[in-house]
Structure 1
């Protein structure tokens, strides 16, 4: 099995694929940044929840997807912005508004991983990891 170079892209791809296959949950190897992103997605209402499952030799992240029969899955779209081959950094004044406020930008800042709105309130910029709507 090949090593994963970009854990964030792996998470986003698995989220998209799980929704397409109509899964209720997904599981993947975890890192601290993936746990931070999952926490933001939970707080913003894009997923039901998540938990870390102890599975030696590595812990795994189990994410429960949020769906309703009327509207489908909560995540309509998800896009990786900064990637290992092309890092994208934004200043506090350049943080994008995603889908006219219906989506969120997730940034990695000097104060941790947070949404674009929170970074604007704190007047800090950072690496623009992804956009979710």
Structure 2
């Protein structure tokens, strides 16, 4: 079956793997998924990013992070905002703050994919892809 929303698929795979306490998860590679993974890594939500395979079979292997003795996941919630049927765009002043600044919103801007904090610093708006906290 064709995947019509690869970003949502990526977020679901990460969410499911972290709930099951997996060390790593695989997601189909694309430029967008790699950009989102880099933002998650720079914000401290995932540990590592590796690539596997060649051509259209390339996959990203994401190392997930946990905290504490009981290994509770760092990623508690991932929510897709803009979707293929309803795109959500915000300007600089309209960028959301997730959990009062404790979480991040991942924004696709003309300067690339970045967190809401970076977008505010650069003074750019864009498409709100997802919330992570």
* TM-score bucket of the superposed structures, by smaller chain: over 0.9
TM (normalized to structure 1)?
0.94
Separation in 2, partners of 1:35, 1:45: 15
Matched, 1:12 2:11: yes
Deviates more, 1:122-131 or 1:13-22: 13-22
Deviations 1:2-43 (A, max 9, x none): 121111100110011111222111112110010000001111
Counterpart CA distance in 2 for 1:45 and 1:124 is 23
Instruction: Mark the CA change 1:64 to 1:91 in structure 2 (over 3 Å): closer, same or farther.
Output: same
**TM score, norm. by length of structure 2:** 0.94
How far did residue 110 of structure 1 move?
0.6
Structure 2 residue runs of 5 or longer lacking an equivalent are none
Partner of 1:47: 46
